[in-house]
């Protein structure tokens, strides 16, 4: 029964998700602060959202690699570059496309305020981002022996 999840596995996943959430919380602060700055400078909310999300994506990647998935540290710079590419393709796409579509709907159609709408989009995208990070981005380094 190798496909079963043990209590230890669930605890490990829960700990990793808590780290993911902590990094994400700081990323939210980065994103909201930049969204406020960009819209305060007169930038339309959609391009401002895209720029703010991209800054948060880069922030989150760096901290996820150094903190959330430190046990899966890359063995060389090339691997880090491929991870960043995978992170942008998965988490970046989920965050940017999801945020832009949901922001358009929440703000443009429902009339929700920009900051409140942005918080709703973050909540909607976070679980998908965790799964993409864990299963597609922060894999054990290639050629590394898996030791316990």
Q: Residue-wise pLDDT tens for the chain (148 aa)?
A: 455 667 677 778 889 999 999 999 999 899 999 999 999 999 999 899 889 988 998 999 999 999 999 999 888 899 999 999 999 889 888 888 888 899 999 999 999 999 899 889 888 888 889 999 999 999 877 655 444 3
Residue of 106, 95, 41 lying closest to 33 (CA atoms): 41
DSSP string, 45-101: HHHHHHHHHHHHHHHHHHHIIIIITGGG--SSHHHHHHHHHHHIIIIIHHHHHHHHH
Spell 96-112 as b/e; 16+ CB within 10 A means b: bebbbebbeebbeeeeb
Please state, in angstroms and as integers, the Cα–Cα distance from residue 79 to each residue in 12, 45, 138, 143, following that order: 24, 35, 10, 11
Q: What pLDDT does 13 receive?
A: 86
- Listed by start position, the domains of the chain span 14-137
- Report residue 102 as tokens: 């949901």
Furthest-apart CA pair in the chain: how many Å?
Answer: 58
Q: What pLDDT does 51 receive?
A: 92
- Report residue 100 as tokens: 């832009």
Q: Answer yes or no: pTM beyond 0.95.
A: no
For 6, which DSSP code?
P
For 138, which DSSP code?
S
């Amino acid at each position: 029964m190798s496909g079963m999840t043990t209590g230890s596995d669930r605890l490990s996943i829960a700990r990793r998700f808590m780290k993911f959430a902590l990094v994400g919380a700081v990323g939210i602060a980065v994103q909201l602060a930049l969204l406020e700055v960009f819209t305060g400078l007169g930038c339309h909310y959609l391009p401002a959202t895209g720029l703010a999300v991209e800054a948060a994506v880069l922030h989150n990647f760096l901290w996820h690699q150094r903190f959330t998935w430190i046990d899966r540290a890359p063995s060389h710079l090339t691997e880090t570059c491929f991870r960043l590419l995978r992170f942008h393709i998965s988490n970046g796409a989920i965050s940017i496309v999801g945020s832009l579509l949901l922001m358009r709907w929440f703000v443009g159609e429902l009339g929700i305020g920009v900051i409140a709408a942005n918080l709703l989009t973050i909540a909607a995208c976070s679980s998908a981002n965790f799964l993409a990070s864990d299963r597609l981005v922060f894999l054990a380094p290639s050629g590394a022996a898996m030791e316990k």
